[in-house]
Amino acid sequence: MNNRRKLIFALGTAGSFPFAAVSQQPKKIYRIGFVTGRPRLDEPSEAFRQRLRELGYVEGKNLVIEWRFLQARADRAPEVAAEFVRLNLDCMAAAGVGPIRAAKQATTSIPIVMINVDADPVELGFVASLARPGGNVTGFTAIAHDLSAKRLELLKELVPNAKRVGMLVGDGGNPGPLTAAMAHYRGAESAARKLGMEVRLLALKSPDELEGLFDRMADWRPEVLSAFSASWFVTHRASLLDWAGRMKIPAMYSNVTFMEHGALMAYSDDVVHRHREVAGYVAKILSGVKPADSSSPRNSSWPSI
């Protein structure tokens, strides 16, 4: 579809993070940490590295990047954050609620750039406000409520008679009140009421629970699915896509990388573009700009479908 909207917010403005400061060649060797739930180096992380290179920060020359891939093991985040603190890094880049929370709890002095958080960073306590983050955290956050509503609207267009929506979430099947999964669920629930639909949360602890899921829901079988594709589902996307295909149920995913593997539809921001912008924030911080100096949010990263 061509009607795209900007639905990823960045904390800080071009005025508060001047690129002129970035253009100066750094004299020291900088060390940064990059932690994500993804399993390995991929196109987004390569885009992050390439953008840093374009801005004058080159691995093996004046930059060391400590790559940490959690492979959907959110329980490893505190261990990685503690290691980053011991390494006395100049900056951390962290993706997802777990890694960002662990980083913030581990340090109040090392700058942290959120690669993305799909829940409200103010509600989570990561920043004081979107307008003035304060502290040592800045970066990017999705508008979970709007994204979930849009996904539901698109599902309704695809299957106009659908009334029952299953909201499929993973990450250990423990969607607490401040998790990204619950932020998306609340947005879907609100949109469902306006569309005359009913949405139910389907939380999984492992991909194995997909088998027999509908048999365990004999009294209420969803007609469409909205899968919140956090790192847990991205890692297990082959199992999820295979299962959805065998069930012959239309499904919407919250990560466009699913489209590359045969998904029917997905709606999210441009992950590669976002990682390039995160690299820009990291470069500005390395040049001496402080996260707390940001003055107002700005839009970034076009959503894709």
The DSSP letter of residue 16 is T
Domain that holds residue 71: 8-142+270-304
Specify whether 29 is located in the same domain as 124: yes
Question: Is residue 226 within 8 Å of 152, Cβ to Cβ?
Answer: yes
Specify whether 12 is located in the same domain as 138: yes
The DSSP letter of residue 283 is H
Q: What does the pLDDT read at residue 296?
A: 32
Q: How many domains does the chain have?
A: 2
Question: Does residue 138 lie within any of the structural domains?
Answer: yes
Question: Does residue 3 lie within any of the structural domains?
Answer: no
Q: What does the pLDDT read at residue 85?
A: 97
Question: Does residue 2 lie within any of the structural domains?
Answer: no
Per-residue pLDDT band at 300 (split at 50, 70, 90): very low
Q: What does the pLDDT read at residue 230?
A: 62
Dihedral over Cα of 224, 225, 226, 229: its sign: negative
Specify whether 131 is located in the same domain as 277: yes
pLDDT digits (tens, 9 = 90+) for 211-241: 888 888 878 999 999 988 666 677 778 888 8
pLDDT at 19 over 50: no
pLDDT digits (tens, 9 = 90+) for 290-299: 887 653 333 3
Specify whether 52 is located in the same domain as 156: no
Question: Is residue 267 within 8 Å of 150, Cβ to Cβ?
Answer: yes
Q: What does the pLDDT read at residue 78?
A: 95
Specify whether 229 is located in the same domain as 275: no
For 70-121, what is the HEC assignment? CCCCHHHHHHHHHHHHHCCCCEEEEECHHHHHHHHHHCCCCCEEEEEECCCC
Question: Does residue 229 lie within any of the structural domains?
Answer: yes
CATH number at residue 36: 3.40.50.2300
Specify whether 171 is located in the same domain as 228: yes
The pTM assigned to this predicted structure is 0.75
Specify whether 155 is located in the same domain as 202: yes
Cα(93)–Cα(114) distance, rounded to whole angstroms? 6
